[in-house]
Chain A
Amino acid sequence: GDSVTQMEGPVTLSEEAFLTINCTYTATGYPSLFWYVQYPGEGLQLLLKATKADDKGSNKGFEATYRKETTSFHLEKGSVQVSDSAVYFCALSGDTGNQFYFGTGTSLTVIP
């Protein structure tokens, strides 16, 4: 079945460091891919998404490119801030468009 695997955390970075969180997926057909962010004590919020191969999703300085050849959707940011400290979830929506499959989440802490 469909699934998402993302890198284990926690990740601790200094402010202004480069961030990469790896995400790979297994799916039949042509899934859509998402990154969600969860701040402490809150629900998940959509960060960015991509619906087809080679699409790049971007938001708030974060980027991820849908790579069908490597079945990946890695999250990147060139210069992280303390306010980026959160848990990041990679997710996919399968061909039916309804069911979402989430990765286990990667906790990011950015220190000043």
Chain B
Amino acid sequence: NAGVTQTPKFQVLKTGQSMTLQCAQDMNHEYMSWYRQDPGMGLRLIHYSVGAGITDQGEVPNGYNVSRSTTEDFPLRLLSAAPSQTSVYFCASSYSGTPGWAYEQYFGPGTRLTVT
């Protein structure tokens, strides 16, 4: 199993450009999510999905778009990049939660994005 893979590893964008961060998992997990990690802020949830065709917003969704057409893939789109979106982005997946159960989230290696 490759686990959770993310591409690219590094990216530099100019303000106003758009791009898609790719995320794929081969563990047949229903739940997938995107986080951003900023110094002193921990991880903040951007968007998540509990299955193909179902997505929802997290804590910081503005400026980002997601879709989930297959179980394996969960791309994150930056519509018009801004310097405030400079961050490290992590994708994670897990089995879908059932109240009372605690499924481990598996993380990808991250994408380091700089917006100038």
A-to-B contact residues, CB < 8 Å: 30, 32, 34, 41-46, 49, 51, 89, 93, 95-100, 102-105
Contact = CB atoms under 8 A, between A and B. Distances in A.
B105 interface: yes
Interface in B81-116: 90, 92, 96-105, 107-110
Interface of B: 4, 31, 33, 35, 40-45, 48, 50, 58, 90, 92, 96-105, 107-110
Given A42-B109, A98-B31, A98-B97, A89 B43 contact: yes
Contact of A43 (B41, B44, B109): B109
A32 to B, nearest CB: 3
Contacts of A105: 42
B19 to A, nearest CB: 20
B42 A104 contact: yes
Given A44-B105, A98-B97, 15 more contacts: A32-B101, A42-B110, A43-B107, A43-B108, A44-B90, A44-B92, A44-B107, A51-B102, A89-B43, A97-B97, A97-B98, A100-B92, A102-B35, A102-B43, A104-B41
> Interface of chain A, helix or strand or loop or mixed?
loop
